[in-house]
Amino acid sequence: MALQITSPNPKALLRWLKTPVFWLFLVITISLSYSWMSPQISAPNERSRIYLTMAVVDSGTLSLNEQIDKYGTPFDIAKRDGHFYSDKAPGSSFLAVPAFALYRLLGGSDSIEKALIFMRLFVMVPFTLLGLVFLRKTLLGIGIRESIANRTTVAYALGTSVFHYGAAFYGHALVASAALGAALGIQRGLSSENPRARFCWRVFAGFSGGMAFAIEYQAALICVGIAIAYLSVREHRTITAVLAPALGASVSVGATLVYNIFAFGGPFKTSYNFLFYNYSEEVHSKGLYGITLPSAESVYGLLFSPSRGIILCAPLVFVGILALGAMWRHTRWLAIYIGFCAATFFLMAAGSSVWFGGWSFGPRLLVPIFGLTAIAAAAGLEELSDRPLLSTLAHAYIAAGIAYNTLVTTAFPELPPRITNPLQTVALPLFERGKPSPNLGMALLGLEGSASVIPLALLIVAVIGYFLYQRATPDRPPLWRRSIVAVSAVAVLFGTFVYEYPESDSAKSSQKFVKFLSSRRIDPK
């Protein structure tokens, strides 16, 4: 049978360009790419990862000695037999190799800051968008209405810490995309009528889980969640059905174990056995790789803090946790997968001595399960569809998260742990000084100071309007007055809480920090 290659249909392409999905993804892409860290400020987490990518492309080695000699020693580092290595799992660095090789081929600058910006735009944003595709297709595949699937996708990208970490060269958002890929693989494997397609989707589910582990060692919990959820379905309890995801996982897991052999001398030896700094070694020596029993402080912080808590920093995630019952009634294996991963990741984060995630905004350590909880949130919003007032309140609450995340992140996305009121202490003072993070408004439109975020602000207002819009039906007329009152009430309560929350840092210290950030702002050329 001859292979037939058909040329693209211009009319079909034009129709696709007119669809709401295209415009939603375009807005999300622009929003994720809009601002970035100041050139002189890069996180050790990012440097550790890009150093490994550079070592592979430039020197064909896993050792980071050359990069450290050239760019300095980051905090996130391991050392064995006189050689430095990344203290991260290698998956994210290896995923970036093709893009960085292209960067070198095109004559990219040797500046570490510009290389990081390239990684953010051409590695992180595409893989985050891929995760959004996985999320939306999974929701549609389990019968969630398209309007709710679209809104959930937007809220996940812009209304949680994914707004920053989806574009920063960390591993958390990549793990979240991999976890969503596993969900889609299992769902398509169950719904496909073609035996070959079922097998391929099951392999993909296993591969996605393996990639999560290759990117972050802690994502082994997600692999366990995948296995439990997968085997909870009766038709998966056959030799062929079990071998398929195992085959997929073996690729990325095997590659990670081989990396461990070459870098650390054994398949089950990791960077945690060779941490360079005493502080890192001390932190990870407590309990199981630094994980002990949760404390009251960590549980409170991960729930209620305006700088680290999911209730204010990631409303969609909190709605998803509350909606696990709705998820159970809708799709049980997904409820098992989401519930297990959410519970174990929360316990792991709360039990960590660095539960706050270092310098960050939002619960950074919980980002890997944000995509999964978004699935549950969509199931909850689906159930609320017949209860207009509660649906409006839920949508307004999630929309407040979109506004809050974009406001703080475009000012400065990686706050020190001592800051407990990021809006009043850091974000608004930086905007008053005209010193937001460098952004596309400066680089492409020539806008200066706080005026540079106006294009993004207009996009976010449009997104929130779209998110809150609920089309009336013949049997359900619009409740405009109730909706306006509900949205206004949520906005006032949410805004008042995040603005009036007590600041633990002294006024002198916080003013000094804002002044320091202002001095590090360099408008991109």
Phi, psi of 439 (to 5 degrees): -155, 175
> What's the confidence (pLDDT) of residue 174?
97
Higher-scoring residue by pLDDT: 17, 37: 37
Cα–Cα nearest to 425, from 509, 366, 346, 510: 510
Q: Of 198-212, 314-328, 381-395, which gets the smallest average pLDDT?
A: 381-395
> What's the confidence (pLDDT) of residue 312?
96
Phi, psi of 287 (to 5 degrees): 60, -135
Structure tokens at 501: 């929350």
Cα 501 to its chain centre, rounded Å, is 26
Phi, psi of 46 (to 5 degrees): -70, -45
Average pLDDT, the chain: 90
Q: Each residue of 46-80: pLDDT tens digit?
A: 999 999 999 999 999 999 999 999 998 888 889 99
Q: Residue 21 carries which side chain, given as an amino acid letter?
A: V
Structure tokens at 180: 């969503």
DSSP string of 404-418, one letter each residue: HHHHHHHH-S---TT
- pLDDT band (50, 70, 90) for residue 16: low
Buried b (16+ CB within 10 A) or exposed e, 202-215: bbbbbbbbbbbbbb
Q: Of 41-55, 80-94, 467-481, which gets the smallest average pLDDT?
A: 467-481
Q: Each residue of 218-259: pLDDT tens digit?
A: 999 999 999 999 999 999 999 999 999 999 999 999 999 999
Q: Each residue of 138-150: pLDDT tens digit?
A: 999 999 999 999 9
Examine the pLDDT at 525 and tell me if it is beyond 80: no
Tally the residues of the chain. Answer: 525
Strands 83-86 and 77-80: antiparallel
Examine the pLDDT at 289 and tell me if it is beyond 80: no
The one-character DSSP state at 438 is P
Examine the pLDDT at 311 and tell me if it is beyond 70: yes
Examine the pLDDT at 283 and tell me if it is beyond 80: no
Q: Of 4-8, 180-184, 303-307, 383-387, which gets the smallest average pLDDT?
A: 4-8
Phi, psi of 328 (to 5 degrees): -60, -40
Examine the pLDDT at 279 and tell me if it is beyond 80: no
Cα–Cα nearest to 216, from 161, 298, 271, 166: 271
> What's the confidence (pLDDT) of residue 493?
93
The one-character DSSP state at 89 is -
Structure tokens at 388: 């207009």
Q: Each residue of 119-129: pLDDT tens digit?
A: 999 999 999 99
Rounded to the nearest 10°, the torsion over CA 399, 405, 411, 417 is 150
- pLDDT band (50, 70, 90) for residue 466: confident
Q: Each residue of 473-521: pLDDT tens digit?
A: 555 556 667 778 888 899 999 999 999 999 999 999 999 999 988 886 6
80 SS3 class: strand
What number is the average pLDDT over the span 84-94? 94
Report the first-to-last Cα separation within the chain, whole angstroms. 55
> What's the confidence (pLDDT) of residue 36?
85
Examine the pLDDT at 327 and tell me if it is beyond 70: yes
Alpha carbons 95 and 115: distance in angstroms, whole number: 15
User: Considering the entire predicted model, what is its pTM?
Assistant: 0.93
Alpha carbons 146 and 471: distance in angstroms, whole number: 13
Percent of the chain at pLDDT exceeding 90? 73
Which residues face 83 on adjacent strands? 80
CA angle 183, 184, 185 (to 5 degrees): 90
- pLDDT band (50, 70, 90) for residue 178: very high
Q: Each residue of 341-369: pLDDT tens digit?
A: 999 999 999 999 889 988 899 999 999 99
> What's the confidence (pLDDT) of residue 249?
96
